């Protein structure tokens, strides 16, 4: 079996809860320990930097994808196993998605929401069957889960859309979900 790759969508900021960065660090170590490859946004700041630095420190392979206009803002991490610069955000998401077997969404902002909804929409349209794991650390994504439920309740999506998202409350559940999905 070829090496499995985990696409991690997450914030270029650390947020206010130290658990967010701690989870990113644990996830990076897990990715390296399982000989998986991290596919992420190639930044060296915030949660994004934490997951990459932890993966590298544990000897894991890293594949970063960053659009040219964010090289300075997100501090493009050029010492990765593989570093790809894209023309725009859409191309970044596409390259990240195409080079992964599973998607993990850690806490983040508007960019993480954009990435989440794009892969969820692609799944809803039948364009892929990759697992989408929402790491709901300390309830961070509760409002998002509520929004998805609201969209269903208001008749704008089938209830089956919830089946495309696996909400996990902590690192232990995330690890179990990833190991199950990639076995």
Distant-in-sequence, close-in-space partners of 146: CB < 8 Å, separation ≥ 6: none
Cα–Cα distance for residue pair 40/64, rounded to 1 Å: 5
Q: What angle do CA 143, 29, 116 make, to 5 degrees?
A: 30
Mean pLDDT confidence for 20-48: 96
Q: Are 84 and 97 in contact (CB under 8 A)?
A: no
- DSSP-derived letter for residue 81 is S
Q: How confident is the model at residue 1 (pLDDT cuts 50, 70, 90)?
A: low
With residues binned 3-state (H G I as helix, E B as strand, rest as coil), the percentages for the chain, rounded to 5, are 50, 20, 35
- By three-state DSSP, how is residue 169 classified? coil
Does the reported pTM lie above 0.85?
yes
pLDDT tens digits, 121-141: 999 999 999 999 999 999 999
Q: Are 168 and 131 in contact (CB under 8 A)?
A: no
Sorted by where each starts, the structural domains of the chain and their CATH numbers stand as 5-181 (3.40.50.450)
Tokens read off for 13: 């900021």
Nearest CA among 16, 52, 27 for reference residue 135:
27
Average pLDDT, the chain: 95
Mean pLDDT confidence for 14-39: 98
Q: Are 13 and 109 in contact (CB under 8 A)?
A: yes
């Amino acid at each position: 079996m070829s090496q499995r790759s985990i696409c991690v969508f997450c914030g270029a900021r650390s947020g206010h809860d130290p658990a967010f960065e701690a989870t990113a660090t644990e996830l990076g170590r897990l990715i390296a320990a399982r000989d998986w490859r991290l596919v992420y946004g190639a930044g060296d700041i915030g949660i994004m930097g934490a997951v990459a630095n932890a993966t590298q420190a544990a000897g894991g392979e890293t594949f970063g994808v960053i659009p040219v206009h964010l090289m300075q803002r997100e501090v493009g991490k050029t010492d990765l196993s593989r570093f790809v610069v894209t023309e725009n955000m859409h191309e970044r998401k596409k390259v990240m998605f195409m080079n992964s077997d599973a998607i993990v969404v850690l806490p983040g902002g508007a960019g993480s929401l954009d990435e989440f909804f794009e892969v969820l929409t692609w799944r809803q349209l039948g364009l892929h069957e990759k697992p989408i794991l929402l790491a709901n650390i300390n309830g961070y994504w509760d409002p998002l889960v509520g929004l998805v439920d609201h969209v269903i309740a208001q008749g704008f999506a089938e209830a089956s859309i919830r089946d495309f998202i696996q909400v996990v409350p902590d690192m232990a559940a995330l690890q179990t979900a990833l190991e199950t999905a990639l076995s």
